[in-house]
């Protein structure tokens, strides 16, 4: 039986019908599936995305791919992609995930062509609440970036959800700090770059970069190459450029500064940030921000930034697996 035949058989046994392939990568394939009669986790006819991961033979790699499997089984939050089902066979892992049909958050902002500080407030609160939920469960995402913020549907009031837990990890306050360097250039926290160990606060930094972009349409850290970019990140070297930040409140700027605190020990937690004055402020201005037009004009650059993954850097610098 071929790969697709085996996948079809495995899914059928768990009351899911395979429809078509949606995409593939180095380690996994994604299929469109539908719930069938007798499915205990979803109504009949529910469409979902099935991520099928072949288990690597090497023990370390196998542990890495099973981490996402274990984490998604633990999560149930309205602003995190829903996992309907997760099961495994001798050689494969199956993740049945909510079908996120609304596209990326930033693409939605460009499409609607109108974005205010109040809109940024609402999105930020939801993402922070999801982050608090994950951190409370001992889960660090470790790769927050715009392409991992998806809209549930095309509807105007669709929820934004955090996706892609491929680099996520369970952490424990009693255990050693996470050490494996991972993330995406532009969003990675300074302490991860220093490779002296880090904790879940790396997610706060990454979300801080995203909030900065939400408010103005371009990233706080940029350079001609990764080496220069990493130096700026380590120093926390960014600014609120005029005229783009002129209409944005002082509270919003203070909020971004708190998230982009270089020292993780001084960087607030998700819970502390949810009580920040900016998120509870009644904003006097309803002016449209430059986010939509700036994101649209720099979209190619953002896509390149998102696609530039740290794989080679990780391989060259990784000394300890966590």
Do the beta carbons of residue 170 and residue 199 sit within 8 Å?
no
Asked if 143 is an active-site residue, the reply is: yes
Question: Dihedral angle at the C-alpha atoms of 67, 73, 77, 79, nearest 10 degrees?
Answer: 50
Q: Judge whether 164 and 148 are in contact, CB under 8 Å.
A: yes
Residue 299 to residue 288: CA distance in whole angstroms? 19
The pair phi, psi for residue 67, each rounded to 5°, is -60, -45
Residues 233, 180, 303, 50, Cα dihedral to 10°: -150
The tokens describing 145, both together, are 């970036």
Q: How far apart are CA 312 and CA 322, in angstroms?
A: 18
> Which one from 143, 164, 203, 276 is the annotated catalytic residue?
143
Q: What is the DSSP code (8-state) at residue 148?
A: G
Q: Determine the Cα–Cα distance for residues 186 and 313; give it in Å rounded to an integer.
A: 14
Catalytically active residues, by annotation? 143
């Amino acid at each position: 039986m071929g790969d697709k035949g085996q996948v079809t058989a495995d899914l059928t046994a768990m009351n899911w019908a395979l429809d078509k392939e949606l995409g593939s990568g180095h380690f996994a394939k994604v299929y469109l599936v539908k719930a069938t009669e007798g499915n205990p986790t979803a109504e009949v006819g529910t469409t979902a995305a099935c991520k099928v991961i072949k288990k690597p033979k090497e023990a370390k790699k196998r542990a890495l791919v099973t981490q996402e499997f274990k984490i998604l089984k633990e999560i149930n939050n309205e602003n995190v992609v829903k996992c309907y089902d997760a099961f495994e066979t001798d050689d494969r892992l199956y993740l049945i995930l909510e079908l996120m049909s609304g596209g990326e958050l930033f693409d939605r902002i460009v499409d609607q062509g109108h974005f205010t500080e109040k809109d940024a407030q609402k999105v930020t609160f939801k993402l922070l609440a999801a982050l608090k939920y994950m951190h409370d469960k001992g889960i660090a995402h470790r790769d927050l970036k715009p392409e991992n913020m998806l809209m549930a549907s095309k509807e105007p009031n669709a929820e934004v959800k955090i996706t892609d837990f491929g680099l996520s990890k369970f952490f424990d306050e009693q255990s050693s700090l996470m050490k494996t360097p991972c993330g995406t250039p532009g969003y990675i926290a300074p302490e991860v770059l220093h490779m002296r160990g880090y904790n879940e606060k790396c997610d706060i930094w990454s979300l801080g970069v995203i909030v900065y972009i939400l408010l103005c349409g371009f990233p706080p850290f940029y350079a001609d190459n990764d080496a220069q970019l990493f130096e700026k990140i380590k120093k926390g070297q960014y600014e609120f450029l005029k005229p783009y930040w002129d209409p944005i409140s002082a509270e919003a700027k203070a909020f971004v500064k708190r998230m982009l605190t270089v020292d993780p020990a001084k960087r607030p937690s998700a819970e502390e940030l949810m009580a920040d004055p900016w998120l509870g402020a009644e904003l006097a201005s309803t002016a449209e921000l430059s986010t939509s037009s700036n994101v649209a004009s720099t979209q190619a650059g953002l896509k390149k930034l998102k696609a530039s993954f740290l794989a080679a850097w990780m391989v060259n610098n990784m000394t300890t697996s966590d």
